[in-house]
Structure 1
Amino acid sequence: MEVMERIRARLEKGDSIRYISHLDYVRAIDRAVRRAGIPIAYSEGFHPHARIAFGPALAVGIASVAEFADFELADCLGAGEFTSRMNSVLPAGLSILESRSIPTDWKPLSVAIVAASYRLVIAAPDIEGDAEWRGERGAGRPGSGPGSGARALERLERAVREVLEARSLIVRRSKERYPGGGATGERVEERDVDIRPSLLGLRLARGSGYAGYAATAAGCCVGLDALVRLGGGAGSVATARPDEILSVLAMHGGIARGMELASITRTGLYVSRDGRLLSPMEFEGDMSSPQGTY
């Protein structure tokens, strides 16, 4: 089937649906395309399928404002009409934030995307009782002054610097094996991997109340922005996972007792052009590399 238009969309996967699997996410998009009457092109053969290509799969439990998908259409529709139709039928928690027609010779998302950024929110319900982290005598709860909250923030900032200065960051990964296709893994393989080559940037989040400890209904929290290179294929770097980034910060004394990862949001996916990292929505634009801001 001839492709008349190719539309790239950036979607939001909200917090309310962060626990659905990638397969369920793909099915939701496919159903929405049919319900919206999108003139999607189909592959040929005995089992034709809609020609929709997705970016890197998102792990269960992570929200996102940077999910990308390419839609190949059998008729010209236009990005505006496409977005309007899709958003009218997509389930709650899933929406298209922007879309645009793109050249048909652009590389597929699975090949073009080389990096991702994440916002990690660390909850600190009460670190005041931790003697190692307690600041000046008489200080209030975290975030109220130069007491335990300010002290913890200083330690976290120092841990971030140490992590970025480290030559290697070794973490242990486990993988359960399923001999004979059984449902229960009979043995667990463990191996050490170095995630430092994948970690392109790490910083305390700025804006939205995250310049320091921010008060929430659950206590206090602090945000971290991470930029990671995505691995893939033999000989590639091991992609740093958000929970592993928290682990190496803990190894460098940046995580106090009682602090834990509260939420993760993927905030960006990037392609590389002329040595710069750009949004997949960009043409040969002039967006500077996100690495320069980390």
Structure 2
Amino acid sequence: MAKLRLEITKGEEIRYISHLDYASAMERAIIRAKLPAAYSEGFNPHMKIAFASALAVGVTSQAEYMDLDFKEEVDLVEGVKRLAAKLPPGIRVKSAKYMPASIPALMAIVNLATYDVIVPLSGTEDYTAAQESVRRFNETQEVLYMRHTPKGRKEIEIKQYMDKPIQIFHEGKDIKLVIHIKITPTGSIKPGEVLAALASMFDLAVKKDSALIDRTGLYVATDKSCLTPIEIYG
């Protein structure tokens, strides 16, 4: 048995597929590449594959992480080459590494996500006013946001999940927000929800429905380091 950890992308071509469809695309590529994937036992065996953190529909990513169990170890370069040849547009392998069999699950260790949010300014809004909205958000100690789900409404305190102040940059008619979000055992916040709070509570005049959200990194962060899930083991 061998455990392979992959850093992969979710590009523009597949921005609007669900996490389940994304995982299925990876499984099909692994099968087509004829890699010796391990399966669970029982009446409904499934491929032993696990992701770090599910992406919302419409969000792209530069750095998704996936663990895949093999029945036997294959040459790393050859295995990645075979897999890459079978991946659909929008998914590419950035790095791969065999990991110790006893490592904790990705979902148990990843605790920080970073995002770039590109969003057009409204016609009457200027960059200086946008900067002021972001400044007020950053300096506010508590921001309560009402999350709407099929199960009902739930009030979320956003700032408990903010790892750093939001950074803002001017990009023509757009602004770019750089957002660092904590992933905790009790929950997290979505970058789209942060943007919605900025617009509704801090007068950020943007066309939020036209926002492009890209996850730029997932990390295992401590007081002393901030490493990717591949970097933490050598």
**Letter matched to residue 195 of structure 1:** I
SS in 2 for 1:200: coil
Judging changes above 3 Å, is the alpha-carbon distance between structure 1 residues 276 and 261 closer, same or farther for their aligned structure 2 residues? farther
Question: Unaligned 5+ residue runs, structure 2?
Answer: none
Question: 1:95-244 maps to which residues of 2 (within 5 A)?
Answer: 95-124=92-121, 127=123, 130=124, 133=125, 152-177=126-151, 189-204=152-167, 211-214=169-172, 220-232=173-185, 236=186, 238-244=187-193
Which of 4, 17, 22 is the matching residue for 1:20? 17
Q: 2-side partners of 1:37 and 1:12: how far apart?
A: 21
Q: Which of residues 36, 43, 48 is equivalent to 2:45?
A: 48
The residue type paired with residue 267 of structure 1 is: T
Q: CA deviation at 1:191?
A: 2.9
Where 2:164 maps in the other structure, the secondary structure is: strand
Q: 2: distance between equivalents of 1:23 and 1:259?
A: 26
Structure 1 residue 69 displacement after superposition: 0.4
Q: Is the 8 A contact 1:202 1:224 kept in 2?
A: no
Deviations 1:119-162 (A, max 9, x none): 100113x62xx2xx4xxxxxxxxxxxxxxxxxx22222222222
| 1:45 alignment partner, SS class | coil
1:182 is matched with none
Structure 2 CA distance, aligned partners of 1:256 and 1:79? 49
Q: Which structure is higher in RCO with an 8 Å CA cutoff and minimum separation 6?
A: 2
Q: 2:211 is matched with which residue? A: 262
| CA 53–162 in structure 1, closer or farther in 2 if over 3 Å, else same | same
Contact 1:120 1:261 in 2 (8 A): no
The TM-score, its normalising length taken from structure 2, stands at 0.90
Query: How big is the shift at 1:258?
Result: 5.0
Structure 1 residues 38 and 229: CA distance shift in structure 2, 3 A: same
Larger radius of gyration: 1
Q: Which SS does the other structure have where 2:170 is aligned?
A: coil
What's the counterpart of residue 140 of structure 1? none
Mapped partners of 1:41, 1:29: distance in 2: 14
Please say if residues 121 and 223 of structure 1, whose CA atoms lie closer than 8 Å, have aligned partners that are also in contact.
Answer: yes
Change (3 A) 1:109 1:284: closer
Residue 70 of structure 2 aligns with which residue?
Answer: 73
Please say if residues 12 and 65 of structure 1, whose CA atoms lie closer than 8 Å, have aligned partners that are also in contact. Answer: yes
- Using the alignment, how far apart are the partners of 1:225 and 1:257 within structure 2? 15
Q: Which runs of 5+ in 1 are unaligned?
A: 134-151, 178-188, 206-210, 215-219, 286-294
**Percent of aligned pairs with the same amino acid:** 31
Structure 1 CA distance for aligned equivalents of residues 167 and 119 of structure 2: 11
Distance 2:34 2:43 in 1: 23
Q: 1:7 maps to which residue?
A: 4
Distance change (3 Å), C-alpha of 1:246 and 1:261: farther
Does the CA-based 8 Å contact 1:41-1:73 persist in structure 2? yes
Distance in 1, matches of 2:81 and 2:3, equals: 16
Q: What's the CA shift for 1:261? A: 4.1
Alignment partners' CA distance in 2, 1:259 and 1:153: 15
State the secondary structure of the residue aligned to 1:201.
coil
TM-score, normalization: structure 1? Answer: 0.73
CA distance in 2, matches of 1:274, 1:168: 23
Structure 2 counterpart of 1:32: 29
